[in-house]
Amino acid sequence: IGRIVKLLAGEPDDLRDIALDLDGVPDFNRGVYDIARSIPPGQTMTYGDIAKKLGGVELSRDVGQALGRNPCPIVVPCHRVLAAGQKPGGFSARGGVDTKLKMLAIEGAVVNHTPSLFD
């Protein structure tokens, strides 16, 4: 918990050494989470990037669904995974995309985001 608090305060930590209990998690999702955990703080990948590593860009939607079911947020940094064009895409945690953007800003990641009139 202390390391997560420090990460959210701006201290880089990839948290990769934290063991996860993914018993019952489908193999595809585990593959997505393994790749997401390889993304260093302050950097991002797209759903398509991960999909290509798992077999093809046509798996992008499946990657997004797996990340939406992420049982270990922050430790599995799904906030570092963006949509095409470096746009934020979705985020299922409380606060939605605003939370994702705040977490990425804390880490110093660059995101292509122009708020709408109603943001």
Residue 72 designated active-site: no
In a domain, 88, yes or no: yes
In a domain, 8, yes or no: yes
Per-residue confidence (pLDDT) for residue 118, from 0 to 100: 58
The CATH number of the domain holding residue 55 is 1.10.10.10
Catalytic-labelled residue, pool 35, 36, 50, 78 = 78
What pTM, to 2 d.p., does this model score? 0.89
47/39 Cα distance (integer angstroms)? 12
**pLDDT over threshold 90, residue 33:** yes
Total domains present in the chain: 1
Location of structure tokens 């930590």: 13
Range of the domain at 85: 2-107
In a domain, 112, yes or no: no
What average pLDDT does the segment 11-21 reach?
94
Q: Are 68 and 92 in contact (CB under 8 A)?
A: yes
In a domain, 52, yes or no: yes
In a domain, 114, yes or no: no
Query: In this predicted model, what pLDDT tens digit does every residue of 40-88 receive, in sequence order?
Result: 999 999 999 999 999 999 999 999 999 999 999 999 999 999 999 888 9
* Token digits of residue 41: 């703080």
